[in-house]
Structure 1
Amino acid sequence: MSDAVLEVDGLITAFDTDRGLIRAVDQVGFSVGKGRTLGIVGESGCGKSVTAMSIVRLLPQPAGRILGGRVMFQGRDLTQVSAKDLRKVRGGEIGVIFQEPMTALNPVHRIGRQLMEGILLHRKISRRKAWEEAVEMLRLVRIPAPEMRMGDYPHQLSGGMRQRVVIAMALACRPDLVIADEPTTALDVTVQAQILDLIKRLQQEMGMALILITHDLGVIAESCDDVVVMYAGRVVERAPVQELFANPLHAYTRGLLASIPRLETEPKTVLPTIPGMVAALSDFVPGCRFCQRMGRRGPTLRERPPFLEVSPGHWVEACPECYQAEEVKA
């Protein structure tokens, strides 16, 4: 993608464990352009959040490390820049909306101080001006009486209000890219819709690129331009959103789509599910990991399937057992 704000190519992230160095992200690649939204979807344990934290190098230390690949942002490889330069990028040029707002916010500092901290760190302005900009950001994310909320502590706000504060912090320096890691976790359905509408509106106003990590395929369909489907630390399918929903080619993608409740489904019928569960990191096979889940045996477990472009912009991990499978087999 020529106008890509971010290009991830062959990213490998691993963790030091008692059982040795174990890969959690295995040669992941994708790109996101200016003003576009890339959705990353998959079950828990598939490597979505680790991929996001690898981009901004916020992996748990000293266990987490990037073993290979490139993360090209505005012409710079973020895996190679110094810690000092990376601190200028994080919060300034790349904003992160973390998964759980109560842990993302410091409980012993007021909202205003936490908002102003990032503004003062990345921009050479006075504290008075930073205060005014922080109030304006709270107003922008539709928090009522923002001047009063500046003096509140996180525990004084509801879950939805805290999430709006986290969004305000991520956008305070007008970044070129925002990574939203499950921004609606633990919020009720009405508040979820408000938060997603808010992120979309702010993206349109600021022209930023957005990476949206979620479990919800409904959110993907509503909010994203392109989709990356991850399973067991790998990308198994990548396509424009309409193409993926109209023509899913990998058995895992089809299984995810089949599990969505539909209006035409008979009441009280059992929803389709994907059998089994994601294997532990230390148990991943070198070959097709979805075949591993399905309990299959043979050469597909030993050799990694090729990642092929089957139509313009539509890529799939072409395992002979999973690619274009008619259904997810137990």
Structure 2
Amino acid sequence: MAENVLELRNVVTAFDTEGGQLVAVDGVSFSVPAGKTVGIVGESGCGKSVTAMSIVQLLPQPAGTILAGEVNFCGEDLLKADHERLYEVRGGEIGVIFQEPMTALNPVHRIGKQLSESLILHLGLDKKAAWARSIELLEMVGIPSPELRVSDYPHQLSGGMRQRVVIAIALACNPKLVIADEPTTALDVTVQAQILELLSQLQKDQGMSVILITHDLGVIAESCDEVVVMYGGRVVEQASVYDLFANPRHAYTQGLLASIPRLDTPRKSVLKTIPGNVASIDEFVPGCRFCQRMERTGETLTNRADFIEIAPRHWVENCPLCVQEQGGHDE
């Protein structure tokens, strides 16, 4: 197995609210092998983005706090790093592609200045060299006439081009790891395919690792080597992309896969859905949160199941009511 660039071990992240401290990420563990893409998938509110921002400690302050765990990046626990070291890591060794490019870019600064800033801070280039490198980066991510676009403001670019600029900024310093937080959410299907192809090609060229956060299981199947399925602030299943699609073991994963429309589905068929609703974060039970959604009763709600290796490199939160042999999800 390839050496891991990143290892999360039992990370717990909470937010202070008027009603008290609420845990949004509850004991999350997974690893990212060198040169591989790990997808994180789950419904809105399951903790995907909070997990990603915990890695680089970009949580809202002062509300967000990492209470426990380890974030080992190339052998170094980032949770023990001081502010100066984190400034070096963010943008330098770990690049971040944020969810909405219009808010990720500063509207009052030209594209070239925003690209140059990272190059000057992390690589020590002078302004002239950084500007020239910015043009090269825009060309690398497929922006036409980069020598002209480098002087544009964000509002002068289309959504797809802005997203390419955000990718260029994330890759400017040749990071070892890129965190892509739903990088194609605001884009149409054609541009989405171009962006994913661009990320894949750049990953091959630069040998970096990628964490890809998305709602789209089609994107996961196309782009990822391994998959982490999150629900209720926890990892409920982790496997290679082939194993997960071929033999999903947790009822929640099975429900997600069953809800995808298929080409052979008869016309006007009722699409399958997962029954129930995700509980509010302040209502989470200590035990199995998918059992809570299914309105089950008993010990599974009070006792958290162990996260076990149910097959080689295939891990699952082993709730006796949710982990089944391959088949449809419990309804």
User: Normalising by structure 1, what TM-score?
Assistant: 0.99
Aligned residues: 330
The separation in 2 between residues aligned to 1:155 and 1:222, in whole angstroms, is: 31
* Residue in 1 that maps onto 2:329: 328
Tell me, yes or no, if structure 1 residue 15 matches structure 2 residue 52: no
Cα deviation for residue 279 of structure 1 reads 1.0
- Name the SS of the counterpart of 2:79 in structure 1: coil
Tell me, yes or no, if structure 1 residue 247 matches structure 2 residue 274: no
- Name the SS of the counterpart of 2:80 in structure 1: coil
* Residue in 2 that maps onto 1:215: 215
- Name the SS of the counterpart of 1:266 in structure 2: coil
Cα deviation for residue 2 of structure 1 reads 6.0
The separation in 1 between residues aligned to 2:242 and 2:180, in whole angstroms, is: 21
C-alpha contact 2:12 2:27 (8 A) present in aligned 1: yes
The separation in 2 between residues aligned to 1:40 and 1:133, in whole angstroms, is: 32
Q: Which moved more, 1:50-59 or 1:75-84?
A: 75-84
The separation in 1 between residues aligned to 2:134 and 2:82, in whole angstroms, is: 29
Tell me, yes or no, if structure 1 residue 44 matches structure 2 residue 50: no
The separation in 1 between residues aligned to 2:60 and 2:277, in whole angstroms, is: 25
Percent of residue pairs identical: 67
Cα deviation for residue 288 of structure 1 reads 0.2
Cα deviation for residue 58 of structure 1 reads 0.1
Task: Trace 1:44-193 onto structure 2 (pairs within 5 A).
Answer: 44-193=44-193
The separation in 1 between residues aligned to 2:30 and 2:269, in whole angstroms, is: 38
The separation in 2 between residues aligned to 1:60 and 1:121, in whole angstroms, is: 23
Q: Which moved more, 1:213-222 or 1:273-282?
A: 273-282
- Name the SS of the counterpart of 2:308 in structure 1: strand
Question: Can you list the C-alpha shifts for 1:105-158, whole angstroms capped at 9, x where unaligned?
Answer: 011111111010111110112111111111000000000000111111111100
C-alpha contact 2:251 2:329 (8 A) present in aligned 1: yes
C-alpha contact 2:24 2:47 (8 A) present in aligned 1: yes
Cα deviation for residue 278 of structure 1 reads 1.4
* Residue in 1 that maps onto 2:279: 279
The separation in 1 between residues aligned to 2:30 and 2:317, in whole angstroms, is: 14
* Residue in 1 that maps onto 2:26: 26
Question: Can you list the C-alpha shifts for 1:25-55, whole angstroms capped at 9, x where unaligned?
Answer: 0000111111100000000000000000000
The separation in 2 between residues aligned to 1:267 and 1:292, in whole angstroms, is: 33
Tell me, yes or no, if structure 1 residue 295 matches structure 2 residue 275: no
Q: Which moved more, 1:179-188 or 1:275-284?
A: 275-284
Cα deviation for residue 277 of structure 1 reads 1.9
- Cα RMSD for the two superposed structures: 0.9
The separation in 1 between residues aligned to 2:7 and 2:318, in whole angstroms, is: 22
Question: Can you list the C-alpha shifts for 1:39-75, whole angstroms capped at 9, x where unaligned?
Answer: 0000000000000000000000000000000000011
Cα deviation for residue 328 of structure 1 reads 2.9
- Name the SS of the counterpart of 1:79 in structure 2: helix
C-alpha contact 2:258 2:328 (8 A) present in aligned 1: no
Question: Can you list the C-alpha shifts for 1:150-181, whole angstroms capped at 9, x where unaligned?
Answer: 11111110000000000000000000000000
5+ long unaligned stretches in structure 2: none
The separation in 2 between residues aligned to 1:235 and 1:208, in whole angstroms, is: 24
- Name the SS of the counterpart of 2:103 in structure 1: helix
The list of structure 1 runs, each at least 4 consecutive aligned residues, that deviate by more than 2 angstroms after superposition, is 325-330
C-alpha contact 2:45 2:232 (8 A) present in aligned 1: yes
The separation in 1 between residues aligned to 2:74 and 2:35, in whole angstroms, is: 14
User: Normalising by structure 2, what TM-score?
Assistant: 0.98
5+ long unaligned stretches in structure 1: none
